């Protein structure tokens, strides 16, 4: 009988000083600060500083950090050429994974695992990821690539690069809050993938490339796209009940619900729900929010007793749609933010590294003879 913990459920595989999660109470803190006040009052740039330095920055430190981040916004001409070679039919998450991996090619010292070098490389990847996603989206639409504007925040710069116009304060604030909410979350699958790779003393480009691959899965970061697909399938609010009950009856997963750790409301969904409602109403997407809210009501009635509640992906779908993002850009948004958490975990892993190498329970046969081909 195997003793393996399926999916490593409940296994503590690392220590971290970045995210504290209490799954039973629905608590998330970044370095001890609750996620809700951070989402309401901080900025993504300040949150990245907090995660990497384990404390809030002073004003001059934040200014210096933002300047460093923004000075890395621009893509090299080789990277732009590579993006221009991407098939316009390619999926944005596959493009992001491919181009992030290629950033190692013009780094004169790509393999360094020196802490300050890894942080600088992580900052470069974080700074350039928005430009990679936006440049590919404009490429597939047959539009010119837009140059970044280093006077803009991380959130505003992405929306500028994507649309060619400066976002409204409301849009910038909403997107910035989404970036804060997605930045780090303990040892989730993509973060674990990142730590496994860096624990071999491989490079940060490989670690973040592997993490992007893990995040794309529909059981993880890909769920926000799945939420939107489901909401689009439901014609109207009145049809939600039949839609949800049909899926539950067929034992199909409702994307955006349930969580390996949270058996209570995901505290990130609380703020995202208010953001989604406000943005949906401001942008003529009120019915989309109503459908989401109706799905939540039915899921609460049917499965809340099993500890299945909305997770971060459920209301981020309505939020991203209301900001005007295309469906297949939702998961890349998750990645843009989580590069901060992945880099932070890579640094923590390197600070006290030990190769991550669990065991597997062998459950196959023993003492089998080798049978030559003519006797098989
Ligand atoms: C993220 O780990 C993280 O921190 C991830 C994340 C982060 O910030 O990095 O928080 C981001 O990935 C959030 C999760 C996004 N994924 C989805 O929304 C996909 C839909 N949800 C699931 O498939 C599921 O809830 C998981 C994968 C998220 C967690 O599943 P577990 O812990 O493996 O639980 P399970 O599959 O064993 O389910 C337990 C029971 C089952 O019922 P029974 O077989 O016991 O009768 O709950 C049911 C499941 O069928 N269930 C669901 C459900 N999720 C679980 N039923 C319907 N819809 C769902 N969404």
Q: Are strands 33-34 and 27-30 parallel, antiparallel or unpaired?
A: antiparallel
Relative to the CA of 314, which ligand 1 atom is closest?
Answer: 18
How far, in Å, from the CA of 255 to the mean position of ligand 1?
A: 8
Whether 341 has a pLDDT exceeding 80, the answer reads yes
The answer to whether 313 is a known catalytic residue is: yes
Q: Which residues pair with 27 in a beta bridge?
A: 22
Structure tokens, 277: 């409602």
Considering the candidates 139, 259, 321, 345, report the single residue annotated as catalytic: 259
Which residue has a Cα nearest atom 8 of ligand 1?
185
Structure tokens, 160: 């500028």
Relative to the CA of 248, which ligand 1 atom is closest?
Answer: 57
What mean pLDDT do residues 3-12 have? Answer: 92
Whether 1 has a pLDDT exceeding 80, the answer reads no
> d(Cα 189, Cα 211) in Å, to the nearest integer?
8
* Predicted confidence band of residue 90 (pLDDT cuts 50, 70, 90): very high
How far, in Å, from the CA of 259 to the mean position of ligand 1?
A: 4
How far, in Å, from the CA of 193 to the mean position of ligand 1?
A: 19
Q: How many other CB atoms sit within 10 Å of the CB of residue 367?
A: 4
Pocket test for ligand 1, best of 22, 216, 258 (most atoms within 8 A of CB): 258
Structure tokens, 157: 């710069």
Considering the candidates 203, 313, 321, 345, report the single residue annotated as catalytic: 313
Please provide the average confidence, as pLDDT, over all residues in the chain. 97
* Predicted confidence band of residue 224 (pLDDT cuts 50, 70, 90): very high
Whether 327 has a pLDDT exceeding 80, the answer reads yes
pLDDT at residue number 76: 97
Relative to the CA of 221, which ligand 1 atom is closest?
Answer: 12
pLDDT digits (tens, 9 = 90+) for 100-133: 999 999 999 999 999 999 999 999 999 999 999 9
pLDDT at residue number 148: 98
Closest C-alpha to 129, from 78, 42, 69: 69
> d(Cα 54, Cα 284) in Å, to the nearest integer?
40
How far, in Å, from the CA of 220 to the mean position of ligand 1?
A: 9
| Ligand 1, CB within 6 Å, residue ranges | 7, 185-186, 188, 219-221, 223, 253-261, 306, 308, 311-313
pLDDT digits (tens, 9 = 90+) for 249-302: 999 999 999 999 999 999 999 999 999 999 999 999 999 999 999 999 999 999
Q: How far, CA to CA in Å, does 310 sit from each of 22, 57, 255, 303? A: 16, 32, 9, 11
How far, in Å, from the CA of 375 to the mean position of ligand 1?
A: 47
* Structural domains in the chain, sorted by start: 19-218+339-351 (1.10.580.10), 223-323 (1.10.230.10)
The pTM assigned to this predicted structure is: 0.95
pLDDT at residue number 2: 74
């Amino acid at each position: 009988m195997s003793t393996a913990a399926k999916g490593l459920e409940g296994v503590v595989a690392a220590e971290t000083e970045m995210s504290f999660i209490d799954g039973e109470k629905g608590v998330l803190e970044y370095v001890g600060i609750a996620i809700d006040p951070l989402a309401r009052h901080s900025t993504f740039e300040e949150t990245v500083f907090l995660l990497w330095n384990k404390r809030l920055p002073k004003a001059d430190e934040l200014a210096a950090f933002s300047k460093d981040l923004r000075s890395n916004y621009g893509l090299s001409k080789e990277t732009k050429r590579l993006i221009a070679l991407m098939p316009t039919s390619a999926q944005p998450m596959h493009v992001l994974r491919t181009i992030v991996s290629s950033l190692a090619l013009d780094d004169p010292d790509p393999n360094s695992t020196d802490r300050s070098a890894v942080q600088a490389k992580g900052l470069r990847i974080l700074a350039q990821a928005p430009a990679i996603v936006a440049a590919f989206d404009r490429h597939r639409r047959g539009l010119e690539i837009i140059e970044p504007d280093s006077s803009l925040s991380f959130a505003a710069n992405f929306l500028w690069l994507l649309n060619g116009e400066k976002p409204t304060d409301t849009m910038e604030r909403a997107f910035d809050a989404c970036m804060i909410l997605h930045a780090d979350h303990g040892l989730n699958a993509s973060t674990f993938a990142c730590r496994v790779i860096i624990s071999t003393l491989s490079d940060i480009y490989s670690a973040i490339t592997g993490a992007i691959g893990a995040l794309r899965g529909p059981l993880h970061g890909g769920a926000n796209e799945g939420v939107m697909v489901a909401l689009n399938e439901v014609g109207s609010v009145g049809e939600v009940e039949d839609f949800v009950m049909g899926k539950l009856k067929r034992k199909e997963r409702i994307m955006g619900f349930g969580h390996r750790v949270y058996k209570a409301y995901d505290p990130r969904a609380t703020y995202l729900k208010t953001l989604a409602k406000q943005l949906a109403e401001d942008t003529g997407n009120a019915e989309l929010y109503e459908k989401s809210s109706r799905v939540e009501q039915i899921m609460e009635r049917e499965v809340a007793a099993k500890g299945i509640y909305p997770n971060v992906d459920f209301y981020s779908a309505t939020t991203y749609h209301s900001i005007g993002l295309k469906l297949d850009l939702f998961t890349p948004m998750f990645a843009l933010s989580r590069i901060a958490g992945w880099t932070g975990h890579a640094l923590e892993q390197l600070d006290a590294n030990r190769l991550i190498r669990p065991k597997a329970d062998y459950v196959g046969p023993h003492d089998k003879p080798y049978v030559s081909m003519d006797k098989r």
